[in-house]
A = this chain, B = another copy of it.
Amino acid sequence: MPPVTALPEGHPLRTGRTSTSPLVLAARCEPVPHTPVWFMRQAGRSLPEYRAVRAGTSMLEACWTTDLVVEVTLQPVRRYGVDAAIFFSDIVVPLRAVGIDLDIVPGVGPVVAEPFRTAADLERLRELSAEDVAPILAAVGALTDELGTTPLIGFAGAPFTLASYLVEGGPSRDHARTKALMLEAPDVWDALLARLARITGEFLRLQVLAGASAVQLFDSWVGALSARDYRASVQRHSADVLASVAGFPVPRIHFGVGTGELLSEMRAAGADVVGVDVRVPLDEAARRVGAGTALQGNLDPAALFAGPEAVAAQVDRVLADARDLPGHIFNLGHGVLPDTDPDALARVVDRVHARTAH
């Protein structure tokens, strides 16, 4: 593990504020007082207090408003007592920060004004600097102070998923143009992912310097690929991103939906913790990633729409699957769905804590 002195003075992993938090311990496969739990997309959408403070502010505007990011990020920590915060943002924020014209359209998702089509478009992807994301880094810093012993997870989108938004011009089920570019123009593809890896790697590095105690790299759509295509065209770029924070003693979590075929490859890209979706039980996932790797997951977010008893049974099933893991961070197998009852999430936190305390 890199020395804590690689971090700036005052960083919560250097001062020790978060270094014995359940999240950091579990990520390092060290003994924990209880299994840590947080939820992907815990900040936002399903919380009434979020909808109240976001009213009248667009998603992108909100992501660039320091006070709002801080407040929305803290809301689920206050409400649920989760073991980590993840700062409120969107994976396209660093693309916007380097000048890509895009918007996050309610009910649709990110929409890119001029989709990426040819090598000439590469020039639009300049390097990211701290100034480009100053209000966000200010939020990370403020959160780190506010959160005390609760770690803040920094995050970014992985090159494949960002490339899909750029090439398709928005969310896509099929990623047809993205895959076509990957197959027919490997040089352009490589150059595109290399630039995205520099942007997103630098964004993660800046978040760590600003106080994040862990990072999660989201490759939301990479489950659309076979392991062969992932190895040939994606893995080294994700590895470059994760390598950008390898000099810090900061756990690196890596997750994508439907990545059962890719778990060992995502581990090999440099993840300390591999996030697992609902399709693969955690014990089977452990066999795929190999010994000594912590896992994160994998309660089905859809299960939260069932009654409390059914949810409790599903929580217990996940905990049973995780029994022999060297490290387990309890999470959903995907993000919180917008219509989720916050009380259902509160019951999950309480149950995980109660069942694993020792």
Contact = CB atoms under 8 A, between A and B. Distances in A.
A56 interface: no
Nearest to A228: B281
Contacts of A174: 301-302, 334, 337
Nearest to A314: B183
B180 A305 contact: yes
Interface in A259-291: 260-261, 278-281
- Interface size range on A against B: 35 or more
Contact of A226 (B176, B178, B280, B304): B280
Given A260-B261, A279-B261, A180 B306 contact: yes
A302 B176 contact: yes
B226 A303 contact: no
A258 interface: yes
A199 B228 CA distance: 40
Interface in A206-241: 223-226, 228
A184 B279 CA distance: 19
Interface in A161-193: 174-181, 183-184
Given A180-B303, A301-B176, A302-B180, A279 B310 contact: no
A339 B177 CA distance: 11
A224 B280 CA distance: 11
A280 B225 CA distance: 9
Contact of A260 (B260, B301, B303, B313): B260
A300 B184 contact: no
The interface centre, meaning the residue of A184, A279, A309, A310 with most chain B CB atoms within 10 A of its CB, is: A279
A307 interface: yes
Contacts of A179: 300, 302-303, 305-306
A334 B305 CA distance: 29
Contacts of A226: 278-281
A283 to B, nearest CB: 11
Interface string A310-334: 1001100000000000000000001
A179 B261 CA distance: 23
Contact of A176 (B184, B224, B309, B337): B337
A168 to B, nearest CB: 11
Interface string A40-79: 0000000000000000000000000000000000000000
Given A177-B305, A180-B303, A258-B258, 5 more contacts: A174-B302, A176-B301, A184-B306, A226-B281, A261-B280
Interface of A: 174-181, 183-184, 223-226, 228, 258, 260-261, 278-281, 300-307, 309-310, 313-314, 334, 337, 339
21 contacts: A174-B301, A174-B302, A174-B334, A176-B301, A176-B302, A176-B304, A176-B305, A178-B302, A179-B303, A179-B305, A179-B306, A183-B303, A183-B306, A183-B314, A184-B307, A223-B258, A224-B279, A226-B278, A258-B258, A260-B261, A261-B280
